[in-house]
Structures are given as structure tokens and as C-alpha cells.
Structure 1
Amino acid sequence: MVNGPSRTRTDWRAKLCTEWLLLLFTVLTLTLALLDPQPLANYRQWLQLPTLAGLMGLLIAIQGIRDSGLVQHAAAAVVARTHSLRGLGLVLVAATALLSMVLTNDVSLFLIVPLTLAIGRISNLPVLRMVVLEALAVNAGSTSSPIGNPQNLLLWQHSQLPFLHFVLAMLPAAAVMFALLAAFTLLWLPRDRVALSPDRIDGQPTSIRLGAWSVAALGGMVVLMEYHQAPLGAVSLLALFALLARPSLARIDWLLLLTFAAIFLGLGHGAELPLVRHALDRLDFNQPLTLYASGIVASQLISNVPATVLLLDRTPDAIALAVAVNVGGFGLAIGSLANLIALRLAKQPHGLRLLHLVSIPFLLVCAPLVYLACHWLHL
């Protein structure tokens, strides 16, 4: 018989073996640190502690909302008002895209994916398909807003363009993306009617108190992130939940934070390598097609936020770069960290494979159409 400590160690080893993304970027980070040592200040910059703190605060607040049971009851209310799976899918996709315009792409996923999982538990909704569609939806929806995602926020502040000017300039790209997504949603989801499982609806106890202050905590966290006070918010929520809802803290996916820390360090260091810098120096970013292709390719290799940082000072056209890196959020999962968040929240088997089967062809169709639309409108 295996004793307690040995079994615990075995469980942790098995869990780590499934965390291939964490292991991959940890190895990359350590390898780059050995081959190209950098000052400690560079590692602190690459780690993006405010972003990690914001993610931690969101994880804590959403876990409280999940544990309150309110998501499950909201799921039942949504399902009761829809009749077809395609209609339900369009509602969820549209809600995801709209939320991402005002609450950023990751926050909208933290709200919509748990709702989707809850709906899937009480109905015949194909959960994994919906989560993939929602990952695409936050990329499409957040494109149109200066505050929809980190790369837009960075480019908006850097360019100092008026808010409405940025929105109107990004609208053609976002419109093409969402039109394609809506068409694909209708084609991909089955025509079946929504079938409820009534025995699963009322099984979750509800805690109005936990739900109310978890929702308040989520709103407060979003506001603090907007005012660049994410560490303060994360520490406050950690202390609050440690006092009032400690079981919720134990159920949080802490390895997700470690995974993002490893990704930030590995990609940040990789983007600063002399080889990468010299390769970029050979490109003429004054050519629209060169900039567009470079933004997409860089996003596929190092994710769209680091790609934005890498190309920001090399191009005079912030809008063109914004279009490129937002399109680059499709394709490989690493193209946008929102893709990884969606898959991690869903925890569905073969999620990464299905995302790539959909997202890569979506990029191949979307990229030329967006370029033609923007070029036609002289954007």
C-alpha cells in the first residue's frame, strides 16, 4: 500500500507531466538564462508582474462566483430562453465579443467560459466547440476597442490617438473577423434543439453572500487593473478569501499562473536575442504588406503582446500594427494568451487539437480578407 506522502508526490508528478506548456517554457527560460545571462532587472521586466497579479485577482474572484452556485442558475436561465443550439451558440459568441470590448478579452473569458461549462452540464451544448468559438470571439471583439486587449491598449497609449478614432480605424478588421466567426458558428454548431437535463439544474447549492461579494470583488479588480493597481487588488482579494472563503483558494488553478510566468520569461528573453533583432533590422516596415505579415508571423511565434512590444518602435503606423497583431491572435494557440486561458478554464480533452484545427484555417481565411478590406479603405 502506498503511504500518504509518497502518493501525494506521485500525484504531483503525474499532474506536472500533463503541464507540458509549463515544462516547455520553463526549459526554454532556463536554457536562455544559461546561454544568454541578463541583468535581474530584465527578468523583472519580462515577468510582467502587474499582468500576473491581475490574472491572480481574476482567478480568485471567478472561483468565488463559481463556488457560490450563481453561474449554474444563470446557465439555467439562459438555456430556458433559447430553443436551438445554433441560437444559443450565437448568443454566447456575441456576448463574449461584446464583453471583450469593454472588459478586455481575458476578463470576458473568465465570465463566459464558466457559464458555458455550466450550460453544458445541464444541456446538450457541445462545450468544447463553444469554448473554441469563444476564444475566437474575444480575439474578434477586442480588436475594435482600445481597451479590449493589452496590445490595443499599448498601441492606443503609444500613438495618442483619440478613442473614437482608434475604434473607427479598427472597425473594418473587427467587422470582417466577426462576420466570419458568425458564419462559422452557424455552420459548425448542430441544428438540434436545446435538450435540458432537469435533474442537473438544481443540484448546486447557492450562496448569495459569497456570490455577491465575489461579483463585487471582480468589478473592483477590473477597476484596479484599469488604473494600474493590479498588485494591490490581487493581494487584497487573497487576504479577503483567506479569511472568508479559504476552500475557494484551494480550488484555484495556481499552475496557470506559473505557466504564464514561464511564458512571459521565455518569450520576453527570446524576443530580445541579437539574432531576432538583426533579422528585424533587415525588414522595411514602411511597406504595408511587410508590416502586416511580420505582425502576424511574430504573433504566431511569440504571442501578439510581445510581438507588439517588439515591433512598436519599428513602425510609424500604430493602426496597421494593431490590425496585424490582432489578426495574429488567431492561428496557433500561442498567438494570443486568451486562447490558452480559454482552454485552461474549460479543461476539456483534446482542446488544443480542436482549437488548432479551427483557428489555423480561420487565420488563413481571415488574414487576406482583413488586409484587402483595410487596404481598400486606405487604412
Structure 2
Amino acid sequence: MPVLRSLMRDRILHLLLLIGVILLLLADYRWAQLPQAVDWQTIMTLTGLLMLTKGLESSGYFDVLGARLIQRFQHERALALFMVCAAALLSTFLTNDVALFILVPLTLTLRKFSHLPISRLIIFEALAVNAGSLLTPVGNPQNILLWSHGSLSVGGFILQMVPLAAVLMVTLMALTWFSFPASSIDKHEQSDTHTWQKRLFVVSLLLYIVFIVALELKFTGWALLLVAVCFLLLARSVLASIDWSLLLVFVAMFIDVFLLMHLPALQPWFARIGQLGEGGIYLLAIGLSQVISNVPATILLLQKVQPSDVLAWAVNIGGFGLLPGSLANLIALRMAQDGKIWWRFHLFSLPMLAWSMLCGWWLLRWLH
């Protein structure tokens, strides 16, 4: 019943389904192509991460960490700067979505111990993983695609992205500084001890490590099966309480993007992409990312143009701005469970997009 109620209340899922029905009537496709349009590797990865994160959260250990953070930091600004830096750092080698699955539940527990602006902090963590993950080839899916299609080494790719990453991180840290006051954290009265389920925490943590290693070894399906069976035997409530509708949202997004790319009216425009100059590619990559997310935009553009620093910078900048720009945005805001966070996110993300576009283009012109 909780799952059904979640599906009935999910307005984003309803909107994506409505768009999908309309596109089904307009696009040129075969029904057999629709299952292939879904990136099932991503769906399996998200499913596993949702289970593992819920397992860690259900163990109660995030309460212990949250209490320690509140004791360690005395001022809102210092705590915010720490969380933003942690999000950016983790995203460089654990990918942006994994970093969020670790930090957002921890951030939510801080609400139990203080009157912190939790939603604003989660917004900045979403911005941080977009800025931090662009630095390395494994920081996010679009970088993995660009690196695998190009000829740069790992060091060469990082060197290519350093100027943009440096500017965006300096900008984000300055924005964090001014957005969070230096006032003392208003703390709740809390007990000295916090109960937690040690066995569930240890099992979830070990499975987390196994799952991340399995992702690198391309054994995602078997690892997901292992995680599901362990929770089925140890803590069935974990499986019942994860956000299943989020997975359906991602499936619907993949199908909608596939249908959009197969609209007959858009085919002549796609054919002209290869004739665009650097400025056109830069603007198109950012614009497409705002509509269909930066990973599908990268997949589409790599069919027409060669991987370059212009394309790499543009699709990563496209992660800012509107909510669909990056799938990490959707993950973070869904986990926040705050109805007002959806429009508040854009108050910070849209200015960040405009500034990133200007700085990125100026840097590219200067470097070239």
C-alpha cells in the first residue's frame, strides 16, 4: 500500500507518462525498440543504491554521525562548507549519484538535532556534486562516455577539466559562504546515546562495498540480486520503504527521450549538428541538457561530433539550471522529501548555470 500511494502521488511520474503517451502518437519507432531505450544498467545501479542507502538509514547509524557532526561544528557556515566540500570530493571518485546517496540521508538526520536549513543544504550538495564530478572521467556518466569515445588518458582528461572545475568550485564555495550565516547552530536537546542496529549497519556497509566493486567489474545484475536476497532475509522493511516510484520516473525519462529523438520533425535538425561550430555545439549541448538531461544529450551529440573539451565542458555545465539538467538533481531533491525544494532549487541553480556558461566560454576562448 505505501508503494501504491507513492505512485498515485508522484506528479513527476504522471507528467512523464502523459508526455510519453503524446510522443507515442507522434514519433517514428517500433514497439520492440522501447525496452532497448531504457538504460537498464543505470536502473539496476539506482535500485541497488536505493536499497543500500535505505539499509544504512534504517540501521540508525546516520543518527550517530549526525549527532557527532552537530557536536563538531558550532556555526552553520562552517558545517555547510564542510558538507559542500565533502559532496564535491566524494563525487570525483564515487560518481555524483553515489555521493548524494551517502550525504543526503546523513544531512536529513541533522534535522533531528538542530534547526538547520536542511533543504537549502541539500540543494547546495546537488550543485556540489555537479561541480565536483566533472573533474574526472569516472565522476559522472557523461564523462565516462566522453572519455571512452576519446583518446585522452585519465590524467589528460583531468587536466582538460581542471580550469572549469576550479572556477565552479570557487564560485560554489563563495555562494555557500554568503548563503549560510556565521551564526551558531540552534541545537535541540539530545540524549548522550543513540541506539542503532549494528548488524544491519555492518551488513549494509559490506554490501555497499561489494556493490561498488561489482559496478566496476560489470557484475551489476548479480550484485543487485545479492543485495535484494540479503535484505529479504535480514530486513524486509528496507525493500518495502525505498522510493520505487523514482525508478519508474527514470524508466519513463529514458523512453520519453528516445521518442523525442525519433520525432520526424526533429530529424532534419539533428542532421545539421555536425555542421555547427564550437559556439553552436557549446550552446546546443547546454540547451539539450536542460531538456533531456546531460547524459542523453551526450549520447546524442557523440553520434554527430567528436569528443572535445568544448563538448565536455558544455554537457557538464548543462547539469546546472533546470531540474532535468542532471539526473543527480532529481535524486537529491526526491530524497529531500520537501515539496517547496523543487522551486527553491532553481533560485540557486539558474544563476549558477548563467555564470558557468559565461565563465566556461571565456575560459575556452582564452585557452584556445
With the length of structure 1 as denominator, give the TM-score of the two structures.
0.92
In structure 1, what residue type is equivalent to 2:306? P
In structure 1, what residue type is equivalent to 2:305? T
Residues 28 and 264 in structure 2, CA contact (< 8 A), matched pair in contact too: no
Query: Take 1:255 and 1:201, find their aligned partners in 2: how far apart are those partners?
Result: 37
2:166 maps to 175
Query: Take 1:53 and 1:251, find their aligned partners in 2: how far apart are those partners?
Result: 17
1:194 maps to 185
Query: Take 2:293 and 2:68, find their aligned partners in 1: how far apart are those partners?
Result: 37
1:328 aligns with 2:318: yes
Comparing 311-320 and 52-61, the one that deviates more? 311-320
Deviations 1:321-345 (A, max 9, x none): 1110000000000000100000011
2:351 maps to 361
150, 155, 168: which one pairs with 1:164? 155
Deviations 1:226-285 (A, max 9, x none): 222222221221111111111111111111111111111111221232333311323455
1:250 aligns with 2:240: yes
1:126 aligns with 2:117: yes
302, 306, 329: which one pairs with 1:316? 306
The answer for unaligned runs of 5 or more in structure 2 is none
Query: Take 1:250 and 1:205, find their aligned partners in 2: how far apart are those partners?
Result: 22
Deviations 1:129-160 (A, max 9, x none): 00100110010000001000000001101113
Residues 28 and 262 in structure 2, CA contact (< 8 A), matched pair in contact too: no
1:185 aligns with 2:149: no
The answer for unaligned runs of 5 or more in structure 1 is 1-7
In structure 2, the CA distance between the partners of 1:281 and 1:37, relative to structure 1 (3 Å rule), is closer
Deviations 1:171-204 (A, max 9, x none): 11111111111010011112211232133674x5
1:217-296 equivalences in 2 (<5 Å): 217-283=207-273, 287-296=277-286
Q: CA deviation at 1:359?
A: 0.6
Deviations 1:57-94 (A, max 9, x none): 00001111001111110111122221210010000000
Query: Take 1:222 and 1:275, find their aligned partners in 2: how far apart are those partners?
Result: 41
Query: Take 1:328 and 1:31, find their aligned partners in 2: how far apart are those partners?
Result: 26
82, 95, 98: which one pairs with 2:73? 82
In structure 1, what residue type is equivalent to 2:13? L
Deviations 1:28-82 (A, max 9, x none): 2233223336334422221111100000000001111001111110111122221
Q: CA deviation at 1:18?
A: 3.2
Query: Take 1:12 and 1:221, find their aligned partners in 2: how far apart are those partners?
Result: 25
Give the SS at the match of 2:102: helix
Q: CA deviation at 1:25?
A: 1.1
State the percentage of identical aligned residues. 38
Residues 28 and 263 in structure 2, CA contact (< 8 A), matched pair in contact too: no
Aligned residues: 368
Aligned alpha-carbon RMSD (Å):
1.8
2:56 maps to 65
1:199-214 equivalences in 2 (<5 Å): 199=190, 202=193, 205-214=195-204
In structure 2, the CA distance between the partners of 1:93 and 1:17, relative to structure 1 (3 Å rule), is same
Query: Take 1:236 and 1:12, find their aligned partners in 2: how far apart are those partners?
Result: 22
Query: Take 1:250 and 1:17, find their aligned partners in 2: how far apart are those partners?
Result: 16
1:125-164 equivalences in 2 (<5 Å): 125-164=116-155
Residues 122 and 333 in structure 2, CA contact (< 8 A), matched pair in contact too: yes
Residues 56 and 62 in structure 2, CA contact (< 8 A), matched pair in contact too: yes
Residues 299 and 307 in structure 1, CA contact (< 8 A), matched pair in contact too: yes
Residues 102 and 147 in structure 1, CA contact (< 8 A), matched pair in contact too: yes
1:26 aligns with 2:17: yes
In structure 2, the CA distance between the partners of 1:214 and 1:15, relative to structure 1 (3 Å rule), is closer
Residues 128 and 172 in structure 2, CA contact (< 8 A), matched pair in contact too: yes
Query: Take 1:12 and 1:116, find their aligned partners in 2: how far apart are those partners?
Result: 24
Comparing 331-340 and 275-284, the one that deviates more? 275-284
